[in-house]
Amino acid sequence: MNEADRRLLRQSRVRLVGELQVAALWDALLNRELFTPDMIEDIQRAGSGSRRDQARQLITDLETRGSQALPLFISCLEDTGQETLASLLRTSRQAAKQDPEAIRPLNLKPVELGPELWPAKLRPEVLRPEAPRPVDIGSGGFSEICAQDRAKGNADLAYVLNADPCGHCLIINNVNFCHESGLRTRTGSSIDCERMQQRFHLLHFMVDVKCNLAAKQMVQALVELARRDHSALDCCVVVILSHGCQASHLQFPGAVYGMDGYPVSVERIVNIFNGTGCPSLGGKPKLFFIQACGGEQKDQGFEVASTSPEDRTPDSDPEPDATPFQEGPVTVDQPDAVSSLPTPSDILVSYSTFPGFVSWRDTKSGSWYIETLDSIFEQWAHCEDLQTLLLRVANAVSVKGVYKQIPGCFNFLRKKLFFKT
């Protein structure tokens, strides 16, 4: 879906959620092939299963259904007698086309760079041109005094991770995608997968790897993990390596693609492990690491003045070192959204890139994010908490490349987390 249609849906969200009669739409949506039967069932199960929850999930998922999704949806509204909503969307869409300044599509044309700056081995996590991968910048030496020594054993400061094994770690590695999806093979992702498999094994997790799963299979694997008995364990980790995209959300942004080209929202992935779906993990940390694009924007960064010697290399000018945080259209379904939000305690979601932006992957050495994450964990996990580790990852990744990338996280942990090393 193009940016103009996506913005129109978000601007109309409150009214659509309030008035949309979803029960009348199912057959029309199926007949026009906007959704599959499985996707309709998922929408019907959304939240509490109420009409408003179903309407909200339908609008969210509609953004992922292609360039003709909005006009087809308008036709479905007309077919089911919801002419008032159809007229609202149709009129607004026509007005936006007549006034391009009102909703301007993103210009995603890549900057023309010389061949030496575009090695064929580097790819973003969506179907995009390549960009360079610079030499990694070192993280420094080891700390002599471990914060872990001060915090571990004190349940008020840190989670207790005494179980051995510590918990389950599920890695979903989608490398090959069906031809109809239009998504490229993610060459280099197997390197990421091997790194994460070895790293979390060393951190005392039971690691299970699943490759090339369709969207429904991804959800099934996650549900199976959530339904296990975690009573004797202290933590749970999910790592997802795939293509990704933007998605409307109430809690956690973004979506990841199954090998069939259908997206699964990060919000849905996380909520599988909430208190209702996974009671044996209640009060225990649940960690999600997402290596996927957050969208299609390429961030060229901006120049900053160096403030300390380590910010620059000798005899060189300061290089771009940060990413401009661009806010997307605001979701205005606030009153209803707030009342339906669960408490996402003991959850941390780490993203490889800022929502809306491309995430880069090298076909020979893996993605910037996973390569850096593994390196930082190797050097510092013995004495630093997870949030500090992720700050190191963000700092190291932010200085890479002609195009920029910065990881970030949604942190709802209640305590510090020190891995068992």
End-to-end CA gap in the chain = 45
What's the rounded Cα separation, in Å, for the pair 46 and 256? 18
- Give the type of residue at 37: P
- Crossing angle of helices 3-11 and 83-98, in 10° steps, is 130
Nearest residue to 241 (alpha-carbon basis) of 277, 178, 288: 288
Active-site residue identified among 243, 245, 278, 409: 243
Residue 102's SS3 state is coil
- Concatenated DSSP letters for 133-173? --PPPP-----SS-HHHHHTT-TTTB-----SS-EEEEEEE
Q: Is 168 a catalytic residue?
A: no
The answer to whether 131 touches 118, Cβ cutoff 8 Å, is yes
Answer left, alpha or beta for residue 235, where phi above 0 means left and psi between -120 and 50 means alpha. Answer: beta
Q: Is 204 a catalytic residue?
A: no
Active-site residue identified among 169, 278, 293, 409: 293
Under DSSP, the state recorded for 106 is P
Buried residues in 13-23 as b, exposed as e (16+ CB within 10 A): bbebbeebebe
- Taking residue 375's Cβ as centre, other Cβ atoms within 10 Å add up to 18
The encoded tokens of residue 266 equal 């990060």
Q: Which residues are catalytic?
A: 243, 293
